Amino acid sequence: VTAWLIAVLTALGVLLWGMVKADLEDDKVCRWLARHLICRAASRLPCDERARWREESIQNAFDLPGRLPPLLWALDTYVRAGRWGRMRGAPSRSQVLLARIRAAWQRLRSLPTAQARARTQQLHPASIQSPPASENASTYLIDMCRARISPADLTPLKESATKLAQLLRDVEVVEYRGHGL
């Protein structure tokens, strides 16, 4: 089993190395990689300094002759970017991660409060936007009729529903008056 594993891993390694080597022999790939590394390095710097250093680093890297020197220049910039960023006042990766975790924890802790607040708003009479009872009744009646009766027989029922709606509206008006509204 061990021999097979070693053979498979070796074959995979050879394959991967072949792919990487072929990619690195391509000038476009090297340039793309160098640019990408420099952009990543610049993203570790404070926001107001990123554009300047990115442009300068890319210009310097691409001024180097050959395929690999620009890549090595970019790689060196990328590897030391964390220290450089901290020197310029940017937070480190661990600080950013810690701040994100803390923010997520705060959101998680305030979740029940937010839910309770939303529920309160939903249940508050001022926020209830339900249609009048008469409209509800007529819609219900029409729906019932559509379900059971053919469209031809619907007209008299619609009229009845309208009448009922009118009646209910009058009842509501009377109720409002009763409450002094």
Partner 1 sequence: MDGLPRTTINVLRVLRVFLEDPATERYGLEVGQAAGLRGGSLYPVFGRLEDAGLLVSHWEDTDPSEAGRPRRRMYRLTTEGVAYARQALAEAQQSLTPSSDRGPRLGRTPGLPVPGGGSA
Stretch that binds partner 1, among 8-16, 56-64, 107-115, 154-162 (CB under 8 A): 56-64
Q: How far is the CB of 115 from partner 1 (least distance, A)?
A: 48
Q: How far is the CB of 19 from partner 1 (least distance, A)?
A: 27
Return the residues of window 77-136 that contact partner 1 according to CB under 8 A. 77-81, 83-84, 87-88
Contacting residue, 9, 14, 72, 114, with partner 1 by CB under 8 A:
72
SS (H, E, C) the chain: CHHHHHHHHHHHHHHHHHHHHHHHCCHHHHHHHHHHHHHHHHCCCCHHHHHHHHHHHHHHHHHCCCCHHHHHHHHHHHHCHHHHHHHCCCCCHHHHHHHHHHHHHHHHHCHHHHHHHHHHHHHCHHHCCCCCHHHHHHHHHHHHHHHHCCHHHHHHHHHHHHHHHHHHHHHHHHHHHHCCC
Could you tell me how many residues of this chain bind partner 1 (CB under 8 A)? 27
What is the Cα–Cα distance from 181 to 172, expressed in whole angstroms? Answer: 11
Between 78 and 138, CB nearer to partner 1: 78
Q: How far is the CB of 43 from partner 1 (least distance, A)?
A: 14
One character per residue 31-50, x = contact with partner 1 (rule: CB under 8 A): ----------x-------x-
Q: How far is the CB of 26 from partner 1 (least distance, A)?
A: 21
Q: How far is the CB of 76 from partner 1 (least distance, A)?
A: 4
Contacting residues toward partner 1, per CB under 8 A: 41, 49, 52-53, 55-64, 72-74, 76-81, 83-84, 87-88
